[in-house]
Amino acid sequence: MSNMTGFNTLLYKEVLRFWKVATQTITAPVMTALLYLLIFGHVLEEHVQVYPGVRYTAFLVPGLVMMSVLQNSFANSSSSLIQSKITGNLVFVLLPPLSHWEIFGAYVLAAILRGLTVGAGVFIVTAWFADLHFVAPLWIALFALLGAAMLGTMGLIAGIWAEKFDQLAAFQNFLIMPATFLSGVFYSIHSLPPFWQGLSRFNPFFYMIDGFRFGFFGKSDVDPVFSLLIVTVFFLLLAGLAVQMLQRGYKLRH
């Protein structure tokens, strides 16, 4: 009971942390995604058709939703941990009898909740501009959950590794942002030259967005079963690494 109390308390603290500043953590990314849609949709709507019968704006919406889910899941766990390390209050997380699995679960679950909340907000404000259908809702839910969990785990790893905000910003600017924008949010990889198509297939973010988009249109660049396998394997590998870092107290216990 005490362990569950500790887990629930840490989870509540992490959720409350982003909910108390919802204007910054939820509203702002929703508005950013809406601006992307208005700008790219206005410029390319009449010039680009990725799938037959699917307007570019409709193609763009699922990509923006998933991009928002991924970026905000990463931001939640990474920023929380680095702030706790710098301000010195991480000790209050490490002192209670919480296992490394419980710490991992609380941080990642809170990241999932923030990512899905922002994603839902983006979908609500952008769906008005496109004619969307839910061809395979289960695939939508699976890729949204796995994508949020994977990026929440990556955020946890980045927060453990980083010792100052500059290092965390480098992790986000040179890894997360490029991988997200080069994952097919704004285009199909079939529109790229062969070299870049092949390179895109080494980007796990591509499989998350392509599989998520399949749930709306029933069309994708890659078999969604293969995409699901890739995302699941990456998540399990990252989760194993994060748990090992927590168990050993890497850069946490000095």
Q: Identify the pLDDT of residue 1.
A: 45
What is the token pair recorded at 176? Answer: 């997360």
Sign of dihedral through CA atoms 80, 82, 84, 90? positive
Q: Which residues of the chain have pLDDT under 50?
A: 1-2
Each residue of 39-55: pLDDT tens digit? 887 776 766 667 777 78
What does pTM read for this prediction?
A: 0.93
Q: Identify the pLDDT of residue 3.
A: 63
How far is the C-alpha of 33 from the C-alpha of 42, rounded, in Å? Answer: 14
Q: Identify the pLDDT of residue 92.
A: 87
DSSP state of 183: S
Helical (H) or strand (E) element with 166:
helix 165-171
| 1 neighbors 99 (Cβ within 8 angstroms) | no
Rounded to the nearest 5 percent, the helix, strand and coil shares of the chain are: 80, 0, 20
Per-domain boundaries in the chain: 2-248
